[in-house]
Chain A
Amino acid sequence: MSTGLISLIVLGLAAVGFVLGRNRAIRDAGGDTRVLHSLPFFHGLVVFLATAVPAFLVLILWLIVQPMIVNSRVSGMIPADVAPDAAAQTLALSDVRRISGGLDAAIDQDKITPDELEAMTTDATDVRALLGTVGVALGSDVNPAVFEAAKAYRKLDATGAIGRTIAVLAAALLGFGIAFPRINRDFRARNASERFITVTLFAASTVAVLTTVGIILSLVFETFHFFTLYPALDFFLGTVWNPQFRGGSELGILPLLWGTLYVSFIALLVAVPVGLLSAIYLSEYASRRVRTVVKPLIEILAGIPTIVYGLFALITVGPILRDYFAQPLNLGNSSSSVMTAGIVMGIMVIPFVSSLSDDIINAVPQSLRDGSLGLGATPSETIRKVVLPAALPGVVGAILLAASRAIGETMIVVMGAGAAAKLSLNPFEAMTTITVKIVSQLTGDTEFASPETLVAFALGLTLFVVTLGLNILALYIVRKYREQYE
């Protein structure tokens, strides 16, 4: 039975449970719902939740665990000469899955019967041709061991599906069986459903946290793997980035880190003054009409896809900078440059600075402005000496958030600054950043288990630590700022 169908059945059962629970409560109250502790609706809700929630939990758990078990069983059946290493093993397993899918299709289309399949071997039948007729194209003839594994895979999967259906329905019925008999006039159904909802909400937030933990763990794991192949010291202190296909690569992070920080620095040089000044204008000077028009317009900047900014950098900003600044000043003749990417990225993060700063400046109590104006200060003195100092920690938080956004940006850098890893001070030279190199290392043709590929994870983890640090700093500053007025 498919997952969708099971879900529908569980929901149906739960709906029936709702009606039954509700009616039982009303009957127990002799029709007078006022004597019930909780409204009939809550009695129904408790039965509904008790039926549906555990069943869905079982379903989700099963969907996660079953493939793991089946894979480990089946991979035991693939002999070492077919799959000598981990990569070949992965490939063989995906073959197994495709063949078993093809066999399912063949049976569905009555090309073969299940009994024929049971007896079928690779020497007697041309499996590749058979699967071709149902639309599964294979690259080579089917290895006998792989074929047997595919047959086993099919069976295990089918058994699993039956087990899943039974387990889910049993969980639903069990939940119903426990909740339904408890429904009576004194049952505190309202409180019980409240507890259920609390637990559900908690579970939802746990998913987010666990995802973060999972991301970090996978990064850490692969990074560790990388450091067993390439010395950590050379990675963190190396000044040359020169990956080779045949080993002997130099994978020093410093040129990339330098490029990242340089581009981000220029981006902030653009975004902070423009963003902050427009925030001050919007919150202190603009009339409400102007504000309602201009603020969303600035925020649109944040919604433009970065590839569009990349194009802007590539065909407009880059050539202009080259023709009017770099070449006349003898600073190079590349249209890809740190300056190009930095300026365009700066435009992109303006709304991060302006929108947040605007909110923060607005949060400064009006009474402080009145106090300053009442002492004979001009509006701009009031902003400089009272409003901005009061808002400063929050504004710094906004800037750090913009910085971490800039550090993580990829597309604009590829198109604006190029892909050459260099340690140079000249802002009109092409350079590149950590994110760009992560992409190019992972999309290259090298083997997954080589240091040239795995370095992407070490780069990713470094980037993660840097931006996480910035974010924590920003949160800390913003929180501290909040305490001042509460």
Chain B
Amino acid sequence: MNDMRIAERNVDTNESKISARKVQVYYGTNHALKDVDVDILDKTVTAFIGPSGCGKSTFLRCLNRMNDTVASARVEGTITLDGENIYDAKVDPVQLRAKVGMVFQKPNPFPKSIYDNIAYGPKIHGLTRSKSELDGIVETSLKKAALWNEVKDRLDSPGTGLSGGQQQRLCIARAIATQPEVLLMDEPCSALDPIATAQVEELIDELRSQFSVVIVTHSMQQAARVSQRTAFFHLGNLVEYGETGQIFTNPKDPRTESYITGRIG
């Protein structure tokens, strides 16, 4: 049944997974995000770029309602996932976050074993019925995150003992293990060295076949390397959104052009 669904999705890769309309975010009286309209496509890597403080993380955190955990934050407008409004009263944000996984800027493995880090999500959501099934999820998640070969002999050692790049891939594996449909990444490489960055970028490219990936980055090279679509934010506004190639070679908005050529930053 699962296979059929994947096959179905593969046919139509341009189907919209998430649509945001007229999204406003306020932190207290600070109007941090203004009138954002975006359609994020399935099986696509979408990059959010823009100078720091322009609201990229804020918008990303709207997509899995992580802003609910910030007391001062208020979100208006509609965001739909597969046509269903995620800010509807009957949507459980906890369930939503299982479907829309998140990877953070700094690797944040739990102070538990590598195995328990991965098994955390499946356990709380009751995704498995037996230990062997759980073992299977841990193994496939680590394989998808290209970490299995490095850690398969020490699944019991603490996740905090890994190197920075390995920790970040562990966090990606942890997010994959709950079998999300969308994966949000907030500057996942900013704490990593160039080699680890290259590994994670390669991984993102592979993940595209199964998930819709949204990545915030301050590196335009990275956006150009990994994404198919790019959104440029400036001062809380979504300035321009389109094909990555078009944004970088032929931007329509003068602000986008200034940013890409290095005049605002």
Binding site for B on A (CB under 8 A): 287, 365, 367-378, 381, 385-386, 389-390, 484
Nearest residue, chain B, Cβ from A392: B111
7 A-B contact pairs sorted by A residue (CB < 8 Å): A365-B108, A371-B109, A371-B174, A374-B64, A375-B121, A375-B174, A376-B94
Q: Are A376 and B110 in contact (CB under 8 A)?
A: no
Query: How many contacting A-B pairs (Cβ < 8 A)?
Result: 67
Q: Are B120 and A373 in contact (CB under 8 A)?
A: no
Q: Are B98 and A375 in contact (CB under 8 A)?
A: yes
Q: Which residues of B contact A381 (CB under 8 A)?
A: 124
Contact of B124 among A369, A371, A377 (CB under 8 A): A377
**A369 and B69 alpha carbons, distance in the complex (Å):** 10
Q: Judge whether B144 is part of the interface by a CB distance below 8 angstroms.
A: no
Given the interface pairs A287-B71, A381-B124, A484-B160, the reply to whether A375 lies near B108 with Cβ below 8 Å is no
Q: Are B120 and A375 in contact (CB under 8 A)?
A: yes
Closest chain A CB from B117 CB (angstroms): 9
Q: How large is the interface on B (under 10, 10 to 19, 20 to 34, 35 or more residues)?
A: 20 to 34
Q: Which residues of A contact B106 (CB under 8 A)?
A: 367
**A376 and B95 alpha carbons, distance in the complex (Å):** 6
Closest chain A CB from B68 CB (angstroms): 9
Q: Are A375 and B101 in contact (CB under 8 A)?
A: yes
**A383 and B140 alpha carbons, distance in the complex (Å):** 28
Q: Are B97 and A375 in contact (CB under 8 A)?
A: yes
**A389 and B124 alpha carbons, distance in the complex (Å):** 16
Q: Which residues of A contact B101 (CB under 8 A)?
A: 374-375
Q: Are A374 and B104 in contact (CB under 8 A)?
A: yes
Closest chain B CB from A237 CB (angstroms): 44
Q: Which residues of B contact A370 (CB under 8 A)?
A: 66, 69, 102, 104, 108
Nearest residue, chain A, Cβ from B174: A375
Closest chain A CB from B257 CB (angstroms): 35
Contact of B108 among A287, A371, A484 (CB under 8 A): A371
| Residue interface bits B166-203, CB-to-A below 8 A is 1, else 0 | 00000100110010000000000000000000000000
Q: Are B94 and A377 in contact (CB under 8 A)?
A: yes
Nearest residue, chain B, Cβ from A376: B98
Interface centre among A372, A376, A385, by most B CB within 10 Å? A376
**A287 and B64 alpha carbons, distance in the complex (Å):** 23
Q: Are B71 and A376 in contact (CB under 8 A)?
A: no
**A323 and B110 alpha carbons, distance in the complex (Å):** 50
Q: Are A376 and B108 in contact (CB under 8 A)?
A: no
Q: Judge whether B125 is part of the interface by a CB distance below 8 angstroms.
A: yes
Q: Are B112 and A371 in contact (CB under 8 A)?
A: no
Q: Which residues of A contact B99 (CB under 8 A)?
A: 376
**A117 and B64 alpha carbons, distance in the complex (Å):** 97
Extra inter-chain contacts (18) besides given A365-B108, A375-B121, A390-B111, CB under 8 Å: A287-B71, A367-B108, A369-B69, A371-B174, A373-B97, A374-B64, A374-B97, A374-B104, A375-B102, A375-B178, A376-B96, A376-B99, A376-B121, A377-B120, A381-B124, A385-B124, A389-B111, A389-B112
Nearest residue, chain A, Cβ from B97: A376
Given the interface pairs A287-B71, A376-B97, the reply to whether A368 lies near B110 with Cβ below 8 Å is yes
Given the interface pairs A367-B104, A367-B108, A389-B111, the reply to whether A375 lies near B124 with Cβ below 8 Å is yes
**A365 and B106 alpha carbons, distance in the complex (Å):** 11
**A372 and B101 alpha carbons, distance in the complex (Å):** 11
Q: Which residues of B contact A375 (CB under 8 A)?
A: 97-98, 101-102, 120-121, 124, 174-175, 178
- What 5 A-B pairs come out closest when comparing CB atoms? A376-B98, A374-B102, A367-B108, A376-B97, A371-B108
Nearest residue, chain A, Cβ from B112: A389
Nearest residue, chain B, Cβ from A377: B124
**A390 and B98 alpha carbons, distance in the complex (Å):** 23
**A378 and B175 alpha carbons, distance in the complex (Å):** 16
Q: Are A376 and B160 in contact (CB under 8 A)?
A: no
Nearest residue, chain A, Cβ from B184: A374
Interface centre among B111, B112, B178, by most A CB within 10 Å? B111
Q: Are A390 and B102 in contact (CB under 8 A)?
A: no
Closest chain A CB from B122 CB (angstroms): 10
**A390 and B117 alpha carbons, distance in the complex (Å):** 13
**A389 and B112 alpha carbons, distance in the complex (Å):** 9
